[in-house]
Structure 1
Amino acid sequence: MLEDLLISPAPPVSARNSPTLDVLVIGAGPVGLACALEAQRQGLRTAVIDKGALVNSIVGYPTNMEFFSTPELLEIGGYPFPTSGYKPLREDALDYYHRVAVAEKLDLRLYERVVRLEGEAGDFTIETEKGEIHTRAVVIATGFFDVPNRLPVPGADLAHVSYYYKEPYPHVGREVVVIGAKNSAAKAALQLTRAGARVTLLVRGPEVSESVKYWIRPDLLNRIAEGRIKAHFSTQIVGIRPNAVDIRTPDGPLSVRADFVYALTGYRPDYPLLAALDVPIADDEARTPLHDPATHESARPGVYLAGTVCGGLHTSRWFIENGRHHAQLIAARLREVVSSGS
């Protein structure tokens, strides 16, 4: 039982019946859970809120997706992450993080969207779709996977266009366009092809990104070279129609048949939510939320940032592997603040 594997156990603290929390964590992903359990171990009354499911981003990952990281790099709270393989699958992670949340008796408030934040450090009121929550401090750990970079072209929101890839099986024998040149697009194109779909890969740049993992990129390039995957490089998407994608190539305009379109063009932080929480954003290329890297307190006192959201549009700066360590920094700082009464 995972409950028996707790390292440095602390008495659980229930915030459910408390009129005022010490900490409300927004985001029930791995980093958000890490922040909550570390704050709770400091004796702080803590709850976690999320507009979706527990570890909602991982729920949205492709079926049986294999993480690039080994299990120990995904662990939180000192709980070992047992897996049967060298690298865990999506389903392993879903089970692991659920078990950690249960073992820590975290106060989870799922499928409850945050609307706005009012007040000041030590006396915040969070308005949600279901009511109000009073808390002394707020931690934002919302990641970036919930907000795709939508294509700014006509037809980008048609029913057969998706910004999330799940599995290849519904597309056997169909024409599928995959837009993108990084890991997600590469893996989707390969899976779809091997499942029997006819795949065309559309890439904005001149080649498949060098950042694609070293064991995936040669596989994709070989499938393109042998003609099993069609590919168009240095391509601009002009528009999407019910059965085709219109593109502009170095050789002129072209229409590519498409029964389904996967626009795997990346994701971004939830900037409308950050605006509703009144978190100042830097005037830089990455639109980085302003925060102190030592304490992770944002430029709005009493509001802290953890995980990927800290990097703004530079979404590859922070992952579970390094973002989880923000939890201990934030929890230690919050304990100091609560102890001092400031």
Structure 2
Amino acid sequence: MKELQVALNNDRSYPIYIGSGLLAQADLLTRHIRSKQVLVVTNETIAPLYLAKLQTALGDYQVETVILPDGEQYKTLQYLEKVFDQLLAKKFSRNATLIALGGGVIGDMGGFAAACYQRGIAFIQIPTTLLAQVDSSVGGKTGVNHPLGKNMIGAFYQPQCVIADADVLDTLDDRQLSAGLAEVIKYGLIRDPGFLEWLETNMPKLLARDKDALAYAIERSCVNKAEVVGEDEFESGVRATLNLGHTFGHAIETGSGYGHYLHGEAVAIGTCFAADLSRRLGWLNDADVNRIIAVFKAANLPVTPPKEMTTEHYVDLMAVDKKNIDGKIRVILLEAVGKASLPVNVDLAQLQATLNGYAG
């Protein structure tokens, strides 16, 4: 087992545990649980696979559960109410602990519920997808979607710990595995060019679920994420670079209907848009853009934008983004392969040129 630390300048620092068989290691859980009251929030896909193992590890704790439907389209205030219903019905106190057992949707919703219930209870992240293990479970971003914008309702709220059990990836389907690789690739593009080179060489091993390759990719991704979050917990500066491709990608997810594209798929397309715009600004050349497209293709990710979305639709949706200031659309771009920019105010004409000109 590897243990990394998300080092924050306060008492909110916490460990990330990475390894195999961690779900059955009761002490990893119990050392971070404050009382006997535990609520496990999971979904209909994960519950039959891993809920019983978690309940066994928790032994004589009072373990209650909320099992939500599986999918981005259920990441709403309506379904979040079901978590609050159970917390209240079971008379959970402020010392209770919420465990989010699932992918990014469950982690975001569980964390947001924990942030809100009695103004904050402890929670633990147990991510069950590659994307959640390398990205969304680390850093304390929680929230839900709105029909007009993704992740626009939420809070920064750090977990007590993150338990990334590599064994749960054995039941992850190939599409979800590729979606997670989009966020892994992101770290190479924004700040770790050596990792990007390793990914280009080892992508076949990752797709074949080579245990050593996956363990290395998870660890290096978490190291990158922890370093950025430790420097900028509330996204006032460098943490925004983690959103490479996300402004375009969130527009694709919202405009296509939540759940049509997986988050990582939309981010892959969005990053190709960002690379194209970076080229138009003179920061990247054709070879750089082609290299970026190629690494996403190698991960079996889409790089072609949805044909049904118009330029006007993109612009409307991108105008609803947390990075925007005073009505200006701001995006993360690449100054070079391996170096992201801070948020850039986008000239509308240049943005439209990319939206009209990039076709995958």
TM-score range normalised by the length of the shorter chain:
under 0.3
Which protein has greater RCO, CA pairs closer than 8 Å, 6+ apart?
Answer: 1
Q: What TM-score do the two structures reach when normalised by structure 1? A: 0.26
- Rg (Cα) greater in structure: 1
Q: What TM-score do the two structures reach when normalised by structure 2? A: 0.25
Higher strand share: 1
